[in-house]
Amino acid sequence: MLDQVTDLVREVARTIVLPRWRHLSDAEIHQKAPGDLVTVADQESERALTEGLTALLPGSTVVGEEAVAADPSVLERVGEQGAVWIVDPVDGTNNFAAGKSPFAVMVALLRDGEPAASWIYDVPDDRMAVAEAGAGAYLDGVRLKTRTDAPAAATLTGSVSRNFLPPELRAQVDTNAVNFGAVTSGHHCAGYEYPAVATDEQQFAVFWRILPWDHVPGTLIVREAGGVALHVDGTPYRPTDSERGLIVAANEDIWQAVRGALLK
């Protein structure tokens, strides 16, 4: 089924998402909330993925970003028993709507509440990251392995998604960023940040608001590559978590360095 979902994600991106990139009219872009955009491509992509995924796995249900926007009770399915798909039809919608990159299509499969598999497709760069619980993570068929050393904080690079950080934590980040080689605001696309950690393009990423469609796919990929995804207090991330900050790092030593030097 891994290959079938991979093919479905690519097909939806090719036929629905990519043709709309840089070709959206104003009428095809709306605000769900201030600064939170949705486009016709998000809506059509989610419908196509929902239909395709439930056909591949009869009896499964779907938690999609746009379905939850329309009916918040759909989010409760994340903790249910059985097979539940998590769908982000266009991750990085603000980039997509502005005609910029990166943006991605992301899918994850939960079985009895636990991540079983995930897919992140970087649409503009045509890169597919896939992970299966216990079987590793791969980028375009090449196995991913995070770095295993413990470099000094001053040599590390990473990103912090500042949008939802509490003011006092944002002030800490701004003050302590000088302790690192580089700390950016990220690419406004979790579908880019997670593979970037898994491939050592950057060594860490920090998020605050952690909705499942943004983070279930990527946390599995990073973990299966050898990295960690832990809350700021050191407890493991769970798909039902949505409001506690998250530090994603290439390994536990790097996680400790980030926690100690950035959020002290």
- Kindly report, residue by residue over 96-152, the tens digit of the pLDDT: 999 999 999 999 999 999 999 999 999 999 999 999 999 999 999 999 999 999 999
* C-alpha–C-alpha distance, residues 259 and 236, integer Å: 14
* C-alpha–C-alpha distance, residues 221 and 44, integer Å: 26
What pLDDT, on a 0 to 100 scale, did the predictor assign at position 263? 84
Strand 127-132 and strand 83-91: the pairing is unpaired
What pLDDT, on a 0 to 100 scale, did the predictor assign at position 208? 93
| Burial (Cβ within 10 Å: 0-12, 13-18, ≥19) of residue 98 | middle
What pLDDT, on a 0 to 100 scale, did the predictor assign at position 243? 76
pTM of the entire structure? 0.96
What pLDDT, on a 0 to 100 scale, did the predictor assign at position 34? 83
Average pLDDT of the chain, as a whole number: 96
Q: The tokens of 26 are what?
A: 């104003």
Positions in the chain whose pLDDT score sits under 70: none
pLDDT (tens digit per residue) in 240-261: 998 779 999 999 999 999 999 9
Q: What is the set of domains in the chain, with CATH numbers?
A: 2-143 (3.30.540.10), 153-262 (3.40.190.80)
What pLDDT, on a 0 to 100 scale, did the predictor assign at position 163? 82
Q: The tokens of 154 are what?
A: 């001053």
* Residue pair 117/133 in contact by the 8 Å Cβ criterion: yes
